Amino acid sequence: MSSLRPFCLTAWSATPVVAALLLLAPASHSPAQAQPAQAASSASTSASQTAVAATTQPSSSTERGITARAIDKVKQVAKSAGDIFSRVPCLPPKGGAKSMGSLPHVAGKLIAGQPVVIVAFGSSSTAGYGASSPDFNYPNRLAAQLRRQYPTADISVINAGVGGEDAPEMMKRLQKEVIDVHPDLVIWQVGTNAVLRNLDPGDTAKLVEDGISRIQAADEADIVLVDPQYSPAVTQRAESAGKMVRLLGKVAELRHVGIFPRFEVMRDWHEKQAIPVESFVIADGLHMNDWGYACFAQLLGDDIIRSVGQIKLGINVPADVHAYRPM
């Protein structure tokens, strides 16, 4: 991985959904401030009540105006996020990335019309840090895509991402948050924080392999590993990042599970598709933005949908070959 190059990242600001949502809280008006004006306007009870109505009406109108504007702003943000690919298209990697298998368990469930449970397991990339709204993190994007494709299916995508964690912390909650849920598919994003902490990639790979063994012993779930992101904070540690990517790929091959090569996919965005880094990474130089999460989810969802299509067509994939890369 010595050929990896750090980037110079320009500042990028996320869409101000938070500010818009804050506007939804109406401005407060103290009854104590309105009382003197009401008493001075009339001595009678009925006149006082009329004065109260007169003084509160503009306030209510103002509050409705603020709320309406805030709602309009949120709708604009949602529309902007919804048509995000019309500005920068989400394309699969150019050349070389071919399918190496399928996801037979989750695909079989979808074909049979049975409920499907997917657990997205990982750290802040799974939790969705950097997205302008929870709706725009990758698990929710993936769920929306699969539900559009299979509108009659009962699909649950559980977000089990906790920021700052890596394999040692994830192993402590593997039983409760993954195995005990009995998922049909586990998407395990891991390795980035180990690189940032200068942990031994070999130790991380060993823990991940042990975790996969535990999942496979308990369930027939498909498993997909997601390796670190290609972003300035990671590529500054090129040697460690490269080793982590290689080792996770070897673990996937050894344990016959899937691998989504996020590092290579994101590098393709920048180097082959000429997309500026700030178009898919936020200003911290590490986390993805709405577009990054959306394209990641789209490519992953495309492979799940492709797996369903393969099984419907009777394409037999060897039981011991589950690893795949985006086509």
Tell me if 327 is assigned to some domain.
Answer: no
Q: Tell me, yes or no, whether 182 and 297 share the same domain.
A: yes
Token code pair at residue 289: 């933005």
Token code pair at residue 268: 């393709």
Number of domains in the chain: 2
Tell me if 178 is assigned to some domain.
Answer: yes
Q: Tell me, yes or no, whether 76 and 172 share the same domain.
A: no
Q: Tell me, yes or no, whether 110 and 60 share the same domain.
A: no
Tell me if 143 is assigned to some domain.
Answer: yes
Q: Tell me, yes or no, whether 99 and 234 share the same domain.
A: yes
pLDDT score at 73: 56
Tell me if 322 is assigned to some domain.
Answer: no
Q: Tell me, yes or no, whether 134 and 240 share the same domain.
A: yes
Q: Tell me, yes or no, whether 125 and 25 share the same domain.
A: no
Q: What is the pLDDT along the chain (327 residues), one digit of tens a residue?
A: 434 443 333 334 444 333 333 333 333 333 333 333 333 344 444 444 444 444 444 455 666 677 777 666 555 544 555 578 888 899 988 765 544 457 889 998 998 889 999 999 999 999 999 999 999 999 999 999 999 999 999 999 999 999 999 999 999 999 999 999 999 999 999 999 999 999 999 999 999 999 999 999 998 899 999 999 999 999 999 999 999 999 999 999 999 999 999 999 999 999 999 999 999 999 999 999 999 999 999 999 998 898 888 877 776 554 444 443 433
Q: What is the per-residue DSSP string for 107-129?
A: HHHHHHT--EEEEEEESHHHHTT
Tell me if 323 is assigned to some domain.
Answer: no
Q: How many Cα atoms occupy the beta-carbon half-sphere of 40 within 13 Å?
A: 6
What range does the domain containing 49 cover? 17-81
Q: Tell me, yes or no, whether 204 and 247 share the same domain.
A: yes
pLDDT score at 13: 40
Tell me if 152 is assigned to some domain.
Answer: yes
Tell me if 86 is assigned to some domain.
Answer: no
Token code pair at residue 255: 């344990």
pLDDT score at 64: 65
Q: Where are the alpha helices (DSSP H) in 162-289?
A: 167-177, 192-196, 201-218, 232-235, 238-255, 262-271
Residues 6+ apart with CB under 8 A from 195: 201, 228, 234, 237, 240, 241, 244
Tell me if 233 is assigned to some domain.
Answer: yes
Q: Tell me, yes or no, whether 112 and 259 share the same domain.
A: yes
Q: Tell me, yes or no, whether 132 and 25 share the same domain.
A: no
Q: Tell me, yes or no, whether 182 and 46 share the same domain.
A: no
The rounded Cα 61 to chain-centroid distance in angstroms is 38
Domain boundary pick from 81, 102, 127? 81
CATH number, domain of 174, equals: 3.40.50.1110
Q: Tell me, yes or no, whether 112 and 41 share the same domain.
A: no
In this structure, what are the phi and psi dihedrals at residue 226, rounded to the nearest 5 degrees?
-120, 120
The answer to whether the CB of 228 falls within 8 A of the CB of 222 is no
Domain boundary pick from 81, 107, 123? 81
Domain boundary pick from 81, 102, 137? 81
Q: Tell me, yes or no, whether 24 and 136 share the same domain.
A: no
Q: pTM of this prediction?
A: 0.73
3-state secondary structure of 230: coil
